[in-house]
């Protein structure tokens, strides 16, 4: 049974280790590890103006996510989210549980919709996961991601769900 | 003949006056004037990490714009832009001249494309202007703008051009 809590500073060492491990591939996140420092990561996953949640199983970190306004002021009823699933816990259905938890949290916080501005089009697992919980692709940004594995520009999808 | 220069601190009083005048309507920008202070505006239109340009005619401010990365790191080859045209100079073809100038500046800065994440779907003048210089609508975010004039949620288009 996954245990969801707010991220705490004590979680940061493990968050930083997993985050680095995931972004180093340059196949699904915008972050270039060489340009990413601890302070940026701490701000991203622990700041107090976002909803930052960590999911654990037997005290091991399965994943974590961060919700915030997708846009300011007159667009602030739409949430945006960032997610990391620990590679050690992939393909076990945990991603979907974390996704559903985040939709509930966004709803509780009063958001009316959630939007991702950047889902790498070659990241089929992520696209299928988000579609399985109800997201739709509402647009595609052509050649907007510098895929490090494929060594070429690939498309990004914009994905959206009403809450 | 429009004269284009980098924005300078001496321009800020007029930038602030025009910016406030435009965003107060809540029909095309995300900013809620009541939550927008001078420092935010100064950062937005004068910061040194963006390309900030002002267009003048006989020393009067016709408009100004700001270019920056649409996304970080592996998405940083795509530019994003914000634009304000002084209402006193609308419907005279200046918007298009400013748009074309910004595309040149983005190209010179090495950007491969430009994307707007948020063009209010009821802002027909803006959409036509951007289409007239080659932008395409690549997606539509449903009900993501709190239109203050219409007092309802309206859609936003995502617009894109290769440079």
pLDDT at B91: 86
Nearest Cβ partner for B113 among A31, A77, A144: A144
Give φ, ψ of A25 to 5 degrees: -75, -25
Q: How many CB atoms lie within 10 A of CB B21?
A: 14
- Interface contact flag, A144 B78, Cβ < 8 Å: yes
pLDDT at A58: 94
Query: Does the pLDDT of residue B1 top 90, yes or no?
Result: no
**Model ipTM value:** 0.94
pLDDT at B109: 98
Question: Computed from CA positions of residues A163, B149, B23, B134, in that sequence, does the dihedral angle turn out positive or negative?
Answer: positive
Contacts of B9 (CB under 8 A, 6+ apart): B46
CA-CA distances (angstroms) from residue B18 to A145, B14, B32, B84, B113? 35, 6, 15, 8, 28
- Chain A residues in contact with B118 by the CB 8 A cut-off are 71, 75
- Chain B residues in contact with A143 by the CB 8 A cut-off are 112-113, 162
Nearest Cβ partner for B139 among A78, A140, A143: A140
- Interface contact flag, A75 B118, Cβ < 8 Å: yes
Q: Counting every residue, how long is chain B?
A: 163
- Chain A residues in contact with B135 by the CB 8 A cut-off are none
What are the residues of chain A with a beta carbon less than 8 Å away from any beta carbon of chain B? Answer: 26, 29-32, 35-36, 70-75, 77-78, 112-113, 115, 117-118, 138-148, 153, 156, 158, 160, 162
Q: What is the pLDDT of residues A33-84, one digit of tens each?
A: 999 999 999 999 999 899 999 999 999 999 999 999 999 999 999 999 999 9
- Report yes or no: B99 and B133 within 8 Å, Cβ to Cβ: yes
Query: Does the pLDDT of residue B48 top 90, yes or no?
Result: no
Q: What is the pLDDT of residues B86-109, one digit of tens each?
A: 999 988 899 999 999 999 999 999
Q: How distant is the Cα of B84 from the closest Cα of chain A, in angstroms? A: 17
- What is the distance, to the nearest Å, from the Cα of residue B148 to the centroid of all Cα atoms in its chain? 19
Nearest Cβ partner for A75 among B75, B77, B145: B145
Task: Give the mean model confidence (pLDDT) for residues B54-60.
Answer: 96
Confidence category of residue B35, pLDDT binned at 50, 70, 90: very high
Q: Read off the pTM.
A: 0.96
- Chain B residues in contact with A147 by the CB 8 A cut-off are 74
Query: Does the pLDDT of residue B75 top 90, yes or no?
Result: yes
Q: What is the pLDDT of residues A96-125, one digit of tens each?
A: 999 999 999 999 999 999 999 999 999 999
Q: Report how far residue A158's alpha carbon sits from residue B70's, in angstroms, rounded to the nearest whole number.
A: 14
Kindly report the average pLDDT of chain B as a whole number.
96
Query: Does the pLDDT of residue B70 top 90, yes or no?
Result: yes
pLDDT at A91: 86
Q: What is the pLDDT of residues B129-146, one digit of tens each?
A: 999 999 999 999 999 999
- Interface contact flag, B153 A77, Cβ < 8 Å: yes
Q: How distant is the Cα of B69 from the closest Cα of chain A, in angstroms? A: 11
């Amino acid at each position: 049974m996954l245990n969801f809590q707010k991220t705490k500073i004590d979680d940061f060492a493990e968050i930083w280790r997993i985050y680095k491990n995931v972004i180093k591939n340059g196949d699904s996140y915008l972050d270039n590890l060489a340009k990413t420092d601890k302070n940026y990561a701490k701000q991203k996953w622990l700041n107090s103006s976002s909803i930052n949640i960590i999911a654990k199983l037997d005290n091991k970190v399965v994943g974590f996510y961060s919700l915030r306004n997708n846009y300011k002021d007159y667009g602030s009823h739409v949430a945006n989210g960032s997610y990391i699933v620990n590679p050690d816990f992939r393909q076990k259905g945990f991603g979907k549980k974390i996704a559903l938890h985040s939709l509930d949290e966004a709803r509780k916080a009063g958001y009316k919709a959630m939007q991702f501005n950047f889902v790498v089009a070659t990241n089929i697992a992520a696209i299928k996961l988000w579609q399985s919980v109800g997201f739709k692709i509402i647009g595609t940004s052509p050649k907007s991601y510098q895929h490090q594995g494929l060594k070429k520009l690939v498309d990004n999808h914009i994905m959206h769900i009403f809450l």
